[in-house]
Amino acid sequence: MNSRVNPMRVTTPPDSKRSMACLPARPGQLAGAEGIESELPSLDTATIRRDFPILQRQVHGKPLVYLDNAATSQKPRRVIQALVDYYEGMNANIHRGVHALAEEATDAYEAARQRIGRFIGATEPAEVLFTRNTTEAINLVAATWARENVRAGDDILITAMEHHSNIVPWQWVAERQGARLKYVEFGPGGEIKLDEVASLLTPRTKLVSMVHMSNVLGTINPVADVARLAHDAGALMLVDGAQSVPHLPVNVADLGCDFLAFSSHKMLGPTGVGVLWGRRDLLDQMPPFLGGGEMIDLVGRERSTYNALPWKYEAGTPNIADVIAFSTAVDYLSELGMDRVRAHELELVAYALEQLGSVPGITLYGPDALQRRGGVASFSIEGVHPHDLGQIVDYEGVAIRVGQHCCQPAMESLKVGGTARASFYVYNTPDEVDTLVRALLQAQEMFS
The residues that touch ligand PLP, with contacts defined as CB under 6 A, are 70, 133-135, 163, 165-166, 211, 215, 240, 242-243, 263, 406
Of 12 and 144, CB closest to ligand PLP: 144
Q: Count the alpha carbons within 13 Å of 163 in the hemisphere toward its beta carbon.
A: 24
Is the CB of 19 or the CB of 166 nearer to ligand PLP? 166
Q: Which is nearer to ligand PLP, 166 or 429 (by Cβ)? A: 166
Min dist CB 377 to ligand PLP, Å, is 15
Q: How far apart are CA 143 and CA 139, in angstroms?
A: 6
- Residue closer to ligand PLP (CB basis): 137 or 433: 137
- Kindly state the smallest distance separating residue 265's Cβ from ligand PLP, in Å: 6
Provide the β-strand partners of residue 378: 365, 421
Q: How far is the CB of 217 from ligand PLP (least distance, A)?
A: 10
Question: How near is the Cβ of 211 to ligand PLP at its closest, in Å?
Answer: 5
406 is a catalytic site residue: yes
Shortest Å distance, C-beta 274 to ligand PLP = 6
> Of the two residues 70 and 207, which places its CB atom closer to ligand PLP in the complex?
70
Rounded least distance, CB 301 to ligand PLP, Å:
37
Residue nearer to ligand PLP on the CB measure, 94 or 255: 255
Comparison of 31 and 349: residue with beta carbon closer to ligand PLP: 349
Which three-class secondary structure string do you get for the chain?
Answer: CCCCCCCCEECCCCCCCCCCCCCCCCCCCCCCCCCEECCCCCCCHHHHHHCCHHHHCEECCEECEECECCCCCCCCHHHHHHHHHHHHHCCCCCCCCCCHHHHHHHHHHHHHHHHHHHHCCCCCHHHEEEECCHHHHHHHHHHCHHHHHCCCCCEEEEECCCCHHHCHHHHHHHHHHCCEEEEECCCCCCCCCHHHHHHHCCCCEEEEEEECECCCCCEECCHHHHHHHHHHCCCEEEEECCCCCCCCCCCHHHHCCCEEEEEHHHCCCCCCCEEEEECHHHHHHCCCCCCCCCCEEEECCCCEEECCCCHHHCCCCCCHHHHHHHHHHHHHHHHHCHHHHHHHHHHHHHHHHHHHCCCCCEEEECCCCHHHECCEEEEEECCECHHHHHHHHHHCCEECEEECCCCHHHHHHHCCCCEEEEECCCCCCHHHHHHHHHHHHHHHHHHC
Q: Name the residue type at position 306.
A: Y
Distance between CA 204 and CA 20 in Å, rounded?
33
CA-to-CA distance for 71 and 167, rounded, in angstroms? Answer: 18
CB of 137: closest distance to ligand PLP in angstroms?
8
Taking the alpha carbons of 94, 96, 102, 107 in that order, is the dihedral positive or negative? positive
**Minimal distance, residue 215 CB to ligand PLP, in Å:** 3
Return the number of the residue (70 or 325) whose C-beta is nearest ligand PLP: 70
Q: Which of 22, 257, 406, 407 is catalytic?
A: 406
Catalytic residues: 406
